[in-house]
Copies of this chain bind each other. A is one copy, B any other.
């Protein structure tokens, strides 16, 4: 296996870091102990695993479900393997190994593996790249294989992956079949496979898929689709006024020429992540510039305050600048996950703290909201406002706009995605380039990093996300000079840091970088304040006019009906924005709640029964309303919720 001792920042290996954090450890354990089994049972029930059994010839039967269902199995497997890598679990290991054997048995002799095509349309392989997700499923197979290999040291699934990757490589690329996938994912997976195998062809193929996208003569033009399928989803998203408009697939222009984030948000995130991986390996600064431009468009025009992205349920996609409805916000959980991955890569590429800030914003809010506290319920889409009688689009798509998380979906991308991220969280916390150690996130943990030709243990103890105190204990095997960089989130104030007892300067929104000789037990002590921030949206955002979002630290808050003395539409935050902060260990598994000063109508103004009256006669009265972290909503009784809270003008 190759080692990467160049100057590129690389995440710490999962094996070299362990989370031990008051906030995250209980969540990781819930996923490990509950969600992994819960999702596996759903995979079995829905026939997703049976499809492999049929393809392997072990039993007779027909393909069940949708053409992308293999991917859910791979994503579950990837997450399970991360858990195997970070803890013994013989029962899970047995289940994983059985599944790996089954997948291997289903593979065809030439390396091809996709149970939908094998069982349903064996003569149509590679003929409908735009829609049928063959390369997408392949990518998730590769990622599962890498995870399995790294967790177990076994080669079985990795060989399945490389055999399939070789098959794809023979088919595609500059010298083969010319086309790119309608749903990206294989790009980032191929770079991972390259890193594990050192097989440059995989990187070349990833680069090919990135670069061919949006080309004038790309095969992802709709003329190349099955003509009899030019109707329905996704065709109705890509034919505009009778003309092909590839924005849904990010296929409207070469990626380097794209200036706005477009189309299906999960696809966009996976593409940008894969492209960033290619840029990192190739040292391609132009591509990095293009990605940074896209990031700026997204974060300045097309992103919810939670970090959630893709505002419309029609096409699960980005729409237009400032089109960010609150009640019909889509903000798919998987798109948030993709954003976390993309920002990890941008952080590696640029070492700019803003990408760490956005990872954190997205993790604690847009992503975590997708999973119930008990680990068995999921939001696919994440509205930012829920009415007392449910969601206005509930009738349109009840699975996606319910006021309660659901146990499963026909399209089950989110329930299989969240566990693999939660399980591999540690890889986002630390990174190194051989001469620097980056502490990207304030998450209690222990890690071992090779830097400056020695092994450095870092013990991180933190009160994040509820309070801004972090202590790093740095223990190199021998005294060594290297840089330690600690991200100071932009939502901190009054930052004070000492390194081995000596104060150092640090600014919010930047990395604190300390280059010195470190000796065993040196401490970095970080202290700051988390002021409660009342955020307003750019005036071009229509849905949030007159309302504020409340944030403290990385946590974005919301109101739930049950915490309010009045229906939520009656609550207006007081002009002075008074607030008291209280940590409640019994609320929602322990959260810091905010009691906000508010004004509500004085109902005695209305006891004459009138429906309309002069507003000068309608008095208001003071009250407080409790805000909870947005990620924690809908874990109690179903009811109204508002993230954007009406507020008196300052």
Residues of A within 8 A of B (CB): 296, 299-301, 303, 305, 387, 533-542, 545-546, 548-549, 566-567, 569-570, 572, 575, 577, 599-601, 603, 606, 609-616, 618, 620, 646-650
Contact = CB atoms under 8 A, between A and B. Distances in A.
Given A546-B546, A649-B575, A614 B570 contact: no
Contacts of A577: 615-616
22 contacts: A296-B609, A299-B611, A300-B611, A301-B611, A534-B616, A535-B613, A536-B612, A536-B613, A536-B614, A536-B618, A537-B611, A538-B611, A538-B612, A539-B566, A539-B603, A541-B611, A542-B569, A546-B572, A575-B649, A577-B615, A599-B649, A648-B648
B535 A650 contact: no
A163 to B, nearest CB: 46
A545 B646 contact: yes
B613 A646 contact: no
A650 B299 contact: no
Nearest to A392: B392
A620 B647 CA distance: 14
Contacts of A646: 545-546
Most buried by B among A536, A548, A567, A600: A536
Contacts of A566: 539
Nearest to A320: B389
B650 A649 contact: no
A330 to B, nearest CB: 15
Contacts of A614: 533-536
A597 to B, nearest CB: 13
Contacts of A601: 539
Contacts of A534: 614-616
Contacts of A649: 572, 575, 599, 620, 648-649
A389 to B, nearest CB: 9
Contacts of A537: 611-612
Given A546-B646, A572-B546, A615 B538 contact: no
Contact of A650 (B305, B600, B612, B615): B615
Given A599-B649, A620-B649, A649-B620, A610 B546 contact: no
Nearest to A573: B615
Contacts of A572: 545-546, 649
A567 B538 contact: no
B606 A539 contact: yes
A300 B609 contact: yes
A648 B536 CA distance: 15
Q: Top 5 A-B pairs ranked by shortest CB distance? A: A539-B601, A536-B615, A545-B569, A542-B569, A648-B649
Given A538-B606, A540-B567, A541-B611, 8 more contacts: A387-B542, A535-B612, A535-B614, A538-B610, A539-B603, A545-B570, A545-B572, A546-B572
Contacts of A542: 387, 567, 569
Nearest to A556: B612
A650 B616 contact: yes
A549 B612 contact: yes
Given A545-B646, A599-B649, A646-B545, A300 B538 contact: no
Nearest to A301: B611
A99 B618 CA distance: 56
Given A569-B542, A649-B575, A649-B620, A610 B300 contact: yes
Contact of A535 (B539, B540, B609, B615): B615
A577 to B, nearest CB: 8
Nearest to A533: B614
Nearest to A321: B611
A16 to B, nearest CB: 36
Contacts of A546: 546, 572, 646
A541 B606 CA distance: 12
Given A546-B546, A570-B539, A647 B609 contact: no
A616 B577 CA distance: 10
A432 to B, nearest CB: 32
A365 B612 CA distance: 15
A276 to B, nearest CB: 22
A194 B644 CA distance: 60
Contacts of A648: 648-649
A538 B536 CA distance: 27
A304 to B, nearest CB: 9
Contacts of A545: 569-570, 572, 646
Nearest to A605: B539
A259 B315 CA distance: 46
A297 to B, nearest CB: 10
A558 to B, nearest CB: 15
A537 B609 CA distance: 11
A611 B548 CA distance: 13
Most buried by B among A539, A540, A542, A616: A539
A383 to B, nearest CB: 15
A434 to B, nearest CB: 35
Contacts of A650: 615-616
Nearest to A387: B542
Nearest to A602: B539
Contacts of A299: 611
B569 A647 contact: no
Contacts of A612: 305, 535-538, 549
A247 B535 CA distance: 46
A649 B538 CA distance: 21
Nearest to A620: B649
A322 to B, nearest CB: 8
A396 to B, nearest CB: 10
Contacts of A548: 615
Nearest to A388: B542
Contacts of A296: 609
